[in-house]
Amino acid sequence: MKKLTLICFLLLTYAVSFAQKDWFKQKITNRLTVSFPAEPAKTAGTTFALKDTTNTIFTATYSFIAQNLKIDQKAFSKLAATTEFASEFLSGLQTTLPGYNLSALKIKQNKNYVSYFTAGKNEDEHKSISMHILFIDGIYYSLSCVVPDGASVKNQNVFLNSFQVTK
C-alpha cells in the first residue's frame, strides 16, 4: 500500500511539473515576467491576455501608478501597504468591474513589494474573477483570471502565482 501511495504521489508530481514547464513566460516589464498557459496576445499597450479552450480568460496589465499620482516610489510603496489605501483602491477597482461583487482585499507585505488578493462572482454572467495585484517600484501590476462556472480553477491558481520579479 505504501508503494502504491508513493507511486501515485510521484506520478502526480511529475504530471504537475510537466504541465507547468509548457507555460509561456511573457515579459510584462523589465521587472516582472508572468507565465501563461499559452502565448498571450498583446491586447493594448500595457495588457496581455489569453482565452483558453474552456473560455477562461487570463490577463496581465500594468500602470505607472506612482507617477500618475505624482508620488515618489518609496512613499507610494509605504502608502500601498496601508488599509486606507487598499480600501480606496478596492472602491476604484469595483467600479471597473460592474456586475462583480469583490471581496475585501487581502494585503501581503513581501520583502520588496506589496500585493493584494481579491475575488468576486458575477451571478448574471455565471463567472468568477480572481486577482493578484502587485505594487513594484511604483508600478501597479494586475494578474486576473476570469473563470466560467463549472470550469477548472487549476490553471487560475497557477497563473496568479506564476510571476517572477527581477531586480
pLDDT tens, residue by residue, 55-65: 999 999 999 99
What range defines the domain where residue 81 resides?
24-165
Q: Which residue has the cell 471581496?
A: 103
In a domain, 127, yes or no: yes
Confidence band, pLDDT 50/70/90 cuts, at residue 110: confident
In a domain, 158, yes or no: yes
Give the pLDDT score at 44: 84
Mean pLDDT of 146-156: 94
In a domain, 5, yes or no: no
Residues sharing a CB contact under 8 Å with residue 16, sequence separation 6 or more, in sequence order? none
12 pLDDT more than 50: no
In a domain, 122, yes or no: yes
In a domain, 123, yes or no: yes
| 8 Å CB contact between 34 and 144 | no
Residue 53, CB-side half-sphere exposure with 13 Å CA sphere: 2
Per DSSP bridges, beta strands 57-63 and 139-148 are antiparallel
Please give the single-letter amino acid code of residue 148.
Answer: P
Task: Tell me how many domains the chain contains.
Answer: 1
